[in-house]
Amino acid sequence: MSSSRLRDLQAFDDTKAGVKGLVDAGVTTIPAIFHHQSDPIPHHVDAIPIPLIDLADVDRGHLVAQVRAGAQSVGFFQVLNHGVPAELLDDMLAAVRRFNEQAAEGKRPFYSRDRGRRVKFNSNFDLFQSPAANWRDTLLLDMAPPGPPPEEIPPECRAVVPEYARAMQGLGVALLELLSEALGLPARYLAQDAGGLDGMSMAAHYYPPCPEPHLTLGTTRHSDPSFLTVVLQDASSKGVGGLQVLLGAGRWVDVPPVAGALVVNIGDLLQLVSNERFRSVEHRVVATTSDRLSVAFFFRPHSACTRVYGPVGAGADAVYRSTTMPEFLAHYVGKGLDGRSALDHFRLPPPPHS
């Protein structure tokens, strides 16, 4: 990294105002630290439908089959009748908007890059590692039970975050049970035996309007360091799309917001544990001239968990070597969102030809 780029990154970080601070200052051209190289992969304009699954389906076998198909073919699906009240979804998004659209002075006390803090606000967790910064700000909350004390949560979000986390925990149990059954495992395996609820966290993203969206991204292409991620997109009249997934045909495909639905995507750890039966698909968020909100809720083991994770029942056919959460997260965070899959680091070499 050049000394001038490091200086520019540090100057941006020192404002503790994030990308929203640049917009509030009236920038009409984005700083060079946000410039991304052009992506050669085409965007597929006619959106390929992402599976939409009704969790109220009373035929358990049919429901498991739908979840299995979505996890295997696309790695993404949306769910309806998920049990989370529509008012709670709206309240969560409204709280994220209130926090981000207040004056910078109200957000600065929460601005931090201290990984030990359970609640922190910053712009780009990998600001000093990634090739280019993303046009977004994030409020990150460690919700591993029992969650942070109320006084650590920003006042704008304090009333809704605990209730939202409880609702997500209930949904996480249901989804992890379905995915366990889809793998032919006991229903309790991912949620309880593998600790899939022990390290819950929430990332509330705010993507300010961008004056030059063609030069940057809201979020670089990546996959998630989790078993499972549940994403709430803003589907209101002001909300805009932006989330895209990279499908097997080598095209970026839109995941349009659906009112009342939640987006579910498979994470790296579940691709590893399932020995690639389930797909952790790369995805990104494009920048737009409008603002955008999303809330991602991650289900994974606790970051300090020393349990060893490897492909279940794969034996000699294992695609990945075993790892622990501390090792996996250290690699993921250390490399940042650099366009490479974290799973490549854990992939076993192909067996020699006999």
3-state SS, 105-140, equals HHHHHHECCCCCCCEEEECCCCCCCCCCCCCCEEEE
Q: Is residue 214 included in any domain, yes or no?
A: yes
Residue 3 burial class via C-beta count within 10 angstroms: exposed 0-12, middle 13-18, buried 19 and up = exposed
Distance separating alpha carbons of residues 318 and 309, to the nearest angstrom: 12
pLDDT (mean) for 32-55: 85
Does position 302 have pLDDT exceeding 70, yes or no?
yes
Distance separating alpha carbons of residues 309 and 164, to the nearest angstrom: 29
End-to-end CA distance of the chain: 45
Q: Is residue 351 included in any domain, yes or no?
A: no
> What pLDDT sits at residue 146?
85
Q: Is residue 147 included in any domain, yes or no?
A: yes
Question: Could you give the percent of the chain with pLDDT greater than 70?
Answer: 97
pLDDT (mean) for 272-291: 95
| CA max distance for the chain | 66
Residue 303, φ and ψ in degrees, nearest 5: -60, -20
Does position 237 have pLDDT exceeding 50, yes or no?
no
Q: Is residue 192 included in any domain, yes or no?
A: yes
Q: Is residue 353 included in any domain, yes or no?
A: no
Q: Which amino acid is at 265?
A: N
> What pLDDT sits at residue 337?
81
Q: Which structural domain, as residue segments, surrounds residue 139?
A: 3-346
**Based on the structure, what is the number of domains in the chain?**
1
**pLDDT tens for each residue of 321-350:** 999 999 999 999 888 888 788 999 999 998
pLDDT-derived band at 353, boundaries 50, 70, 90: low
CATH of the domain at 280: 2.60.120.330
256 to 106, 180, 241, 246: CA distances (angstroms): 32, 27, 6, 14
Pairing of strands 262-266, 217-222: unpaired
pLDDT (mean) for 29-57: 87
**pLDDT tens for each residue of 77-134:** 999 999 999 999 999 999 999 999 999 999 999 999 998 999 999 999 999 999 999 9
pLDDT (mean) for 149-164: 97
pLDDT (mean) for 270-279: 96
Host H or E run for residue 219: strand 217-222
Q: Which amino acid is at 78?
A: Q
Does position 248 have pLDDT exceeding 90, yes or no?
no
- Name the token pair of 311: 């492909």
Prediction pTM value = 0.94
Does position 239 have pLDDT exceeding 80, yes or no?
no
Alpha helices (H) along 114-225: 161-182
pLDDT (mean) for 264-275: 97
Q: Which of 228, 225, 325, 320 is nearest to 273 (CA)?
A: 320
Q: Is residue 271 included in any domain, yes or no?
A: yes
- Name the token pair of 162: 């605990």
pLDDT (mean) for 61-77: 96
Q: Residue 262, SS3?
A: strand
- The lowest-confidence range among 118-132, 153-167, 194-208, 246-260 is 246-260
pLDDT (mean) for 191-215: 96
192 CB-near residues (< 8 Å, 6+ apart): none
- Name the token pair of 326: 């501390």
pLDDT-derived band at 354, boundaries 50, 70, 90: very low
Q: Which of 212, 6, 42 is nearest to 129 (CA)?
A: 6
- Name the token pair of 330: 């250290």
* Mean per-residue pLDDT of the chain: 93
Q: Is residue 352 included in any domain, yes or no?
A: no
pLDDT (mean) for 285-311: 94
Q: Is residue 63 included in any domain, yes or no?
A: yes
pLDDT-derived band at 241, boundaries 50, 70, 90: confident
Distance separating alpha carbons of residues 258 and 79, to the nearest angstrom: 10
Residue linked to tokens 């201290």: 114
pLDDT-derived band at 314, boundaries 50, 70, 90: confident
**Cβ distance 134 to 34 under 8 Å?**
yes
Does position 236 have pLDDT exceeding 80, yes or no?
no
> What pLDDT sits at residue 184?
96
> What pLDDT sits at residue 39?
85
